[in-house]
Amino acid sequence: MVNMKVSLSGWQLDNPIIPASGTFGYGKEFAEFYDINCLGTFSFKGTTLNERFGNPTPRIAECPAGMLNAVGLQNPGVEHVIAHELPEMKKYFSKKLIANVSGFSVEEYVKACALLDREEQVGLLEVNISCPNVHNGGMSFGTEPKAAYEVTKAVKAVCKKPVYIKLSPNVTDIVSIAKACEDAGADGISLINTLMGMRIDLKARRPILANTTGGYSGPGVFPVALRMVYQVYEAVKVPIIGMGGISRAEDVIEMMLAGASAVEVGAANLADPMICKKIIDTLPAVMEKYGIDNLSEITGGAHHG
């Protein structure tokens, strides 16, 4: 009998499979397809201090080996999430959750994180300094070590629960940014968010997305994500949640060997709403195939053979 349990900053999960923020909503629609309590946990829809309508449409564009999105952090705001969404989620998900938080200033991050940190349902906070689909905020904090340090330090000052910083791949040196977050007190790192991309409508001769550019996700980004997780693992001592193009159990093993303690599944949820359950169901057989008894023991295994 294989052991799929993993740990994130002392929080033990039944398995490492976590639907990524922005691809799973608040879980309600997926709970109609299967019992989502089989998940390790899930990262619910990215939350900002204030309500956001998001970007104009069209927001989605297909592309080879993935998709582009420019949703723009549409959400009802943190107070609505606490008053309405968290109580609703408790009806169909009995485990603690990951709260994904975005902001447009250090003060916004601090206020939203402080409110969610008080909620009993929240197991850890995933602070998104990497969103490529909004202007004047989000990713701007994740592209420079000093800014990443400042956000991390400010959020850690008001939070008792573990704080994981979600990083952007749209940088020249992700390692320096990860180290800055660790130096500022981050309990963990999440990576990667989407890669910047675009598509052009050949008939209209203009960009398909109203936002012009969007975040590229799906199987095509997996090798990039794997490389960045590998590099960051060698530079920091805190746990890593790896993500980017994961769609099968073999991807989970590969990402954990690169250095991830757990993984998030993103775009694959939009192509197949059952994908996380399928990965969980097939993971034991894949573990046995590769001689893995305890999944938590393989983290970083590719670094030392």
At 300, list the tokens. Answer: 């970083």
Q: Cβ atoms within 10 A of the Cβ of 274, count?
A: 12
Which residues are 44's β-sheet partners? Answer: 99
Residue 267's identity, in one-letter code, is: A
Render 33-85 in DSSP notation, one character per residue. Answer: TS-GGGSS--EEEEE-SS-B--PPSP-EEEETTEEEE-----B--HHHIIIII
Q: Evaluate the omega torsion of the peptide bond into residue 162 and state whether it is cis, within 30 degrees of 0.
A: no
Q: Where are the beta strands (DSSP E) in 117-178?
A: 122-128, 163-166
Which residues are 13's β-sheet partners? Answer: 6
Cα R_g (the chain), whole angstroms: 18
At 62, give phi and psi (nearest 5°). Answer: -80, 155
Catalytic annotation, pick one of 38, 63, 131, 276: 131
With beta carbons less than 8 A apart as the criterion, state whether 78 and 116 touch.
Answer: yes
What is the C-alpha to C-alpha distance for residues 11 and 18, in angstroms, rounded to an integer?
Answer: 13
With beta carbons less than 8 A apart as the criterion, state whether 244 and 260 touch.
Answer: no
Query: CA-based angle 215:20:225, to the nearest 5?
Result: 60
Nearest to 9 by CA among 243, 265, 188: 188
Residue 276: active-site member: no
Residue numbers annotated as active site: 131
